[in-house]
Structure 1
Amino acid sequence: MIVFITGASAGFGAEMARTFVKNGHQVVISARRSERLAELAAELGEAALPLELDVTDPASIADALAMLPQSWRQIDVLINNAGLALGTKPAQEAPLEDWETMIATNCAGLARMTRAILPAMVERGSGLVINLGSVAGHYPYPGGNVYGATKAFVEQFTLNLRADLAGTGVRATNLAPGLCGGTEFSNVRFKGDDAAAAKVYEGTTPLTAKDIAETAYWIATLPPHVNVNSIELMPTCQGFAPFNIKRV
């Protein structure tokens, strides 16, 4: 199969690329950071095709897809992995530009990529879209504000895709991880504050990018009549907290 992964220059995306290539599939690895893509492509060999692409830029998406060689254009699996969290300040203090960046990437970028690839899947009568959601899209927490809202969009968008795609042979899954370490996620969220990022995982055994990659691979290799609507993963060290109550 041919797999197209956004945000493939690091973290979940890079590990998913490794997993699919290791199992004999071709992978289009796309991201903004071309140097990182070149390094990953060198590691993975001819089964990986690097493609510089910014999901927040419609022209970048169109140009990148137009550059795909003919033999790579039948995308069997689209993994909308590109996304980010920025900050943990309460809503009344959070920078508006952080909100706008998360919405542009996690919502608009994901929707654009889906709309670009989906028609050909429907025409062929087969395909799979895996959208990277989060437990933050299901459960609110202080400081999660717009990040959690963007992941709630991912969940609802995926379920609505299922409503539209019934009977087409095209599948859609919301893959929603909980606490996951070993990636740039928290470093990006805390804008390079490595100490703050490390504190998130202090004393825990979080999920890993490999766990997420193996889950995505399992979903993609199920029989074509099986659709996983949504799958939520947490490490055993994570659970559910009491309601947030402020006392005076």
Structure 2
Amino acid sequence: MSGYTIDEARRIAINCASSYKSSLEDKQFIIIYRDKDTNMIKHIEVVFLARNYQHLTGLNMIDEAGKLLDHHSEFFYKKCVEKKLSCDEIVMRMDGTTQLKLEALPAITKFTSITKIVAIPNDATNEYRAFRILEQNGFIKLKEGVEDSLSASVDDIEEYVVPLEIVELDSAQIIPTKDDYDFFITNTNKALEAGIDSAKLFSEGADSPYANMIAVRSEDADNPAIKALVEALLDEDTQKFIEEKYDGAVIPVK
């Protein structure tokens, strides 16, 4: 690890501030990772604010007498962005964490430039559903009018908000090859069949147009068996069982 001088620390803080402002400031991200102890896929949600930047540098601001200044994080960030931070305004922390943070800072401010790989189903219906999930969670923007058609392909992506490589696969091949991708999108039933219940990052909401429906012929509208089925599905005990059994993977009828 390098032993940065105060001038080198100042230059790193100033240089990285522009990347932080353009790529991270006021943005929220889902960071996906594999736990090295359990080998399970996990995630955390993080948001980057102006006041967070100073903490990432590990630098403290001081006054003319050398006294530490508290609650000046946004002022520190503003000076970095405007390239006006001077060496006599900052000090490194005595515990050595400043050196560690300055080592990591350039990579942190540029992590959104790393392309993520996602696998999605390639059949017309589920591919559109996958694109909608990606759009709703801030990865892409679809072209106007796509929602009306309920179908989409990669050609209908107007903008990649996050660098993304999309791999289109037969839905049956996604889970067997899941370790080849940063994340994947698949149907709930396939995830449940594979015993996957702890790696869900996002899913369709209760307003999804792809809900299962009970449809009968007009002559069966008053069939006691059909009425009993509908009554059972609407029963509070049934809904509670579904919510507890599937932990949000299956949404009960309301």
Higher relative contact order (CA 8 A, sep 6+): 1
The TM-score normalised by the length of structure 1 is: 0.27
TM-score (norm 2): 0.26
Name the larger-Rg structure.
2
